[in-house]
Amino acid sequence: MWKQAILSLTMTSIESTTRLRQSLVLGTLIAAGEAAFLLPFVLARVFRPTFLSVFEINNFELGVAFSMYGLVAMGSYFAGGPLADRFSARWLMAIALGATGLGGAVLAGIPSSQTMSILWSFWGMTSILFFWAAMIRATREWGQLTGQGKAYGFLDGGRGLLAAAIASISVLIFSLMLPEGTAAIRPEQRELAFRSVIWVFTGFTIAIALLVLIVIPDNNQSIKTPGKTKLSLDGIKSACQTPVVWLHAVIVVCSYTGYKATDDFSLLASDALGFNDVDSSSVGALGFWIRALSAIGAGFLGDRFQSSRVIAWSFGILIMGSLLIASGTTINVAWMLIMTIAATSAGIYALRGVYFALLEEGQVPLATTGSAIGIVSFIGFTPDVFMGPLMGILLDNFPGVLGHQYVFGVVALFGFIGLVATSIFRKIA
């Protein structure tokens, strides 16, 4: 009897330790997943008006930097897939985060627009080649025990929650660094405050690189398959022959186009409502809080009703919200515009929360996950190349609210294409 009691206590202790370990791994994946993109994207998304002012650039020049990131990232997605299938996610992710953080020191020097393009190109390599497929594969492996929808929903929702906290804290730091009466701040005061935010983002990124080394297990793929020591293109060939992979890529393209448009929310609040730097940044931070709830909720719904169905619903919300902004119906009334931004953000972040769960629904083999991610990401994240310059052209050539209306007209069109692709995916998956 006492032996059974001891055995039961031992098993309970092991299960508790395993759950704690799994929670730590997921928490670290969440922190790493957001840290990799704080400097390249979150900074400009939350502080876009301030960013443009401090660096003395226009929307198109910032868009060019984003485009350089996207061009390098496209090649990195292909190369990163086989890397993730062969090498330890732990080391790939740690190297990527450390290198990305070092780039923050360059950004804190307030470089020229030409140097910014080089820096964003560098980040396109560090945050994608070594990081992206490794993180998605590690998340899929974690989700084998809990459900794919929950795994990716927790990943993106957790990233959103972390980003919301970081964004809100950074807005607070920024406001505290400014004198009373933000309408009268001098350019050098704005630059000093913004530089402090850059250093906060930089320090956080490097700290998470160290956390990855401590927490993420060293699942070296080459150890599991010792007879295979070279990178192979077999996984890419296999994924290319799978129709659902191409549909998956179209769905991600359309979803990610909406996500890139969230860069415009803070500037939209500034142009349409006359918000100052701090208030417009608060609108930019709002989306991150919505992201947490939307992505996690979408993950649970995806496991209950199928991820593809949740994606179809989310595209519907995205289309309606984008059309409201594009029509100008809500654009000049503060509470209506903020509610529309919140609803549109909910659709966008629900899509992000579950679109990689389609790997499981589409029955992509686990062994070629990295390669499939490479193909889907290569095509799916092309908005990194074209949306930045396109938004810059529309916003700079059509000043005021009109440029924003055109931007969200484009988003609504992509949302419709994504809805069609999702319907086809559901029929053949």
| Number of neighbouring beta carbons within 10 Å of residue 302 | 29
Q: Compute the average pLDDT of residues 199-222.
A: 85
Domain contains 5: no
Q: Give the number of domains in the chain.
A: 1
Domain contains 13: no
Q: Compute the average pLDDT of residues 72-85.
A: 79
Q: Which band of pLDDT confidence, cut at 50, 70 and 90, is reported for residue 234?
A: low
Tokens of 84: 């993730």
The domain of 344 spans 21-218+233-428
Gap between the Cα atoms of 312 and 318, Å rounded? 10
How is residue 220 annotated by DSSP? -
- What is the pLDDT, as a whole number, of residue 14? 46
Domain CATH code at residue 32:
1.20.1250.20
Domain contains 226: no
Q: Compute the average pLDDT of residues 233-262.
A: 82
Q: Which band of pLDDT confidence, cut at 50, 70 and 90, is reported for residue 312?
A: very high
Domain contains 398: yes
Residues near 212 by Cβ (< 8 Å), separated by ≥ 6? Answer: 28, 32, 90, 93, 94, 97
Gap between the Cα atoms of 220 and 199, Å rounded? 33
How is residue 114 annotated by DSSP? H
- What is the pLDDT, as a whole number, of residue 237? 66
Domain contains 420: yes
Q: What is the distance, to the nearest Å, from the Cα of residue 210 to the centroid of all Cα atoms in its chain?
A: 21
Q: 70 vs 4, 56, 125, 292, 387, CA distance in Å?
A: 59, 22, 9, 25, 10
Are 80 and 207 spatial neighbours (Cβ–Cβ below 8 Å)? Answer: no
Residue range 83-103, pLDDT digits in tens: 777 788 889 999 999 999 999
Tokens of 47: 């502080």
- What is the pLDDT, as a whole number, of residue 44? 86
Q: Which residue has the tokens 């992505």?
A: 295
Are 127 and 37 spatial neighbours (Cβ–Cβ below 8 Å)? Answer: yes
Residue range 10-40, pLDDT digits in tens: 445 445 556 777 788 888 999 999 899 999 9
Q: Which band of pLDDT confidence, cut at 50, 70 and 90, is reported for residue 206?
A: very high
Amino acid 164 reads A
pTM: 0.72
- What is the pLDDT, as a whole number, of residue 223? 41
Tokens of 263: 């860069």
Residue range 170-181, pLDDT digits in tens: 888 888 887 765
Domain contains 227: no
How is residue 179 annotated by DSSP? P
pLDDT, averaged across the chain? 83
Are 243 and 428 spatial neighbours (Cβ–Cβ below 8 Å)? Answer: yes
How is residue 38 annotated by DSSP? I
Tokens of 317: 């919300």
**For the chain, percent of residues with pLDDT exceeding 70:** 86
Considering only 171-185, 249-263, 265-279, which range has the smallest mean pLDDT?
171-185
Highest-confidence segment of 5-9, 55-59, 202-206, 397-401 = 202-206
Domain contains 16: no
Residue of 323, 353, 355 whose CA lies nearest to 340 = 323
- What is the pLDDT, as a whole number, of residue 181? 55
Domain contains 249: yes
